[in-house]
Amino acid sequence: MRIPTRPPTATAAFALLALAACGDDAGPAPRATATAHFAAIAAGRDRSCAVADTGAAFCWGRRGAADDDSAAPPALVPTAVTSAPDARAVALGEQHACLLAVDGRAFCWGANDHAELGDGTTVGHAAPTLVAGERTFSAIAAGRHHTCGLEVDGRVSCWGWGRYGQLGVGATVDLGLPERIPGRRFAALAAGADHTCALAADGAAYCWGRDDRGQLGTDSALVRCGADGAPCSLVPVRVRTTVAFAAIAAGGQHTCALSTAGVAYCWGAGDVGQLGAGALADARAPVRVAAPAAFATISAGARHTCAVTTDHQAYCWGDDTYGQLGDGGGAGVAATPARVAGDVAFDSISAGTLHTCALAADGAAYCWGFAGYGQLGSGSTFASPVPVRVAAPAAPR
């Protein structure tokens, strides 16, 4: 019997991120409009994006042209993504972003040096561009330079950079167009820096791609990939556990998942406590997080992890150098879950590189941690070790 009052979920986007375009370029200072009610949110490296309950997509933080966002000033409050269709989810890659339209089509924009936009080219786009292949997706996940989509029939298609086998197609090749992973169907999907994971319908977890820190959670025979000869798997391999999972999240070099009872497990890099088991050590098989309660949703960032309990309390663990754990500390590490400060009831959470964002039960967005590019959406570039409410979206110019 499932304990959580809501089905456990996980953000499907990797957090070592730096989106290349989130709205138009520099211009007059924005003026506030009515507060948006958000339905989905993603925290990246230098920015954040969210989808309003109207289907409109917004981003804030670092922004600019498709292949070079260094010239434009950051967006300090949510700014509408131009030419975007009505969306239901958004995912962030290192220099690209993707959204899932309400009709199941995928659109991507930003840098495209590694074909991560999936349009068959390596030309970047400042506005959302339709992913080729006429596929209908139920979920989308963006890694460092690759993207994967979960199709409505359970098949997974991936495209972009594949030097570590993270595309799962049996070769270390880059793909400019979506290609289906043969032989398996899945129910959930997550993309990390250079690895990808998914859940089968029976709750079994599979991962593929880079495994230098044990992020695949397997004892299967691996090959060597990339210029550094890192261990990797070119095809999905089963995670070494008998636990049946209901949600999965992939981070920089670690992976986490929730059991059907809401129990959290993590594996891979653990040097700053991101596995949440009380030790500062890597784990090549799932270890149980020392959690105070059952979780309903989980998200893996670059070097920290966050989750929301079934009673809407947020917890984070791992690297807290810039306050990304949100407990008011803002220094050092936490090897076990620390409760996010305040009394906001959260529904979902997304761990980025050095910051975190979450959605409250009333649709309000909150962020905390590093804010050097305005990625907290509060209207400033001041870091915060506790949640700050994201400002009202800027009016169109």
For the segment 138-153, the average pLDDT, to the nearest whole number, is 97
Q: Give pLDDT, residue 220.
A: 83
For residue 72, the model assigns a pLDDT of 79
What pLDDT shows up at residue 149? Answer: 98
Residue 34 pLDDT level (bands cut at 50, 70, 90): low
Quote the pLDDT of residue 337.
Answer: 98
Average pLDDT, integer, range 366-390: 97
> Mean pLDDT across the stretch 97-109?
97
List Cα–Cα distances, 215 to 109, 147, 285, 294, 364, in angstroms: 28, 18, 8, 23, 33
Kindly list the strands in the beta sheet with 195-199, ordered across the sheet, starting from the edge strand earlier in the chain: 188-191, 195-199, 205-210, 230-238, 223-225
pLDDT reading at 318 higher than 70: yes
At 329, is the pLDDT very low, low, confident or very high (cuts 50, 70, 90)? confident
Residue 21: which pLDDT band, with cuts at 50, 70 and 90? very low
Would you say residue 154 lies in a domain? yes
Per-residue confidence (pLDDT) for residue 397, from 0 to 100 = 54
The SS3 assignment for 225 reads: strand
Q: Residue 209 has which token pair? A: 């791609």
Q: Tell me, what's the pLDDT at 396?
A: 60
Q: What is the mean pLDDT of residues 287-312?
A: 97
Once rounded to an integer, what is the mean pLDDT over residues 160-164? 98
In a domain, 2, yes or no: no
Please compute the mean of the pLDDT values over residues 152-168 and round it to a whole number.
98
d(CA 20, CA 336): 34
Q: 224 and 209 in contact (C-beta within 8 Å)?
A: no
**Tell me, what's the pLDDT at 18?**
34
Give the span between the Cα atoms of 377 and 49, in whole angstroms.
10
Q: Is the pLDDT of residue 207 over 50?
A: yes
Q: Can you give the residue range of the structural domain that contains 180?
A: 9-389
User: What does the alpha-carbon distance between residue 252 and residue 304 come to, in Å, rounded to a whole number?
Assistant: 9
Q: How many domains does the chain have?
A: 1
Residue 389 pLDDT: 97
Q: Mind listing the pLDDT tens digit for each residue in 54-81? A: 999 999 998 744 434 456 789 999 999 9
CATH number at residue 107: 2.130.10.30
Residue 71 in any domain: the answer is: yes
Q: Tens digit of pLDDT for each residue in 239-280?
A: 999 999 999 999 999 999 999 999 999 999 999 999 999 999
With respect to residue 394, please indicate whether it lies within any of the assigned structural domains.
Answer: no
pLDDT over 60 at 28, yes or no:
no
Q: Name the token pair of 388.
A: 């700050």
Q: What mean pLDDT do residues 119-132 have? A: 96
Residue 14 pLDDT exceeds 60: no
Share of the chain above pLDDT 90, in %: 83
Instruction: Compute the mean pLDDT over every residue in the chain, rounded to the nearest whole number.
Output: 90
What is the C-alpha separation between 244 and 259, in angstroms, rounded? 6
362 domain-assigned: yes
In the numeric block, the tokens 């068959």 are attached to 120
Best CA proximity match to 12, nearest among 382, 387, 349: 349
Is pLDDT at 209 greater than 50 in this prediction? yes
Q: Is residue 397 situated within a structural domain?
A: no
CA 359, 54, 344 angle in degrees (round to 5)?
Answer: 20
Can you give the pLDDT at residue 47?
Answer: 86
Higher pLDDT, 91 or 13: 91
User: Would the pLDDT of 2 be above 60?
Assistant: no
Is pLDDT of 26 > 70? no
- Asked whether residue 356 is assigned to any structural domain, the reply reads yes
pLDDT of residue 221: 76
% of the chain exceeding 70 in pLDDT: 88
Sign of the dihedral through C-alpha 149, 150, 151, 152 = negative
Residue bearing the bigger pLDDT, 36 or 336: 336
In a domain, 185, yes or no: yes
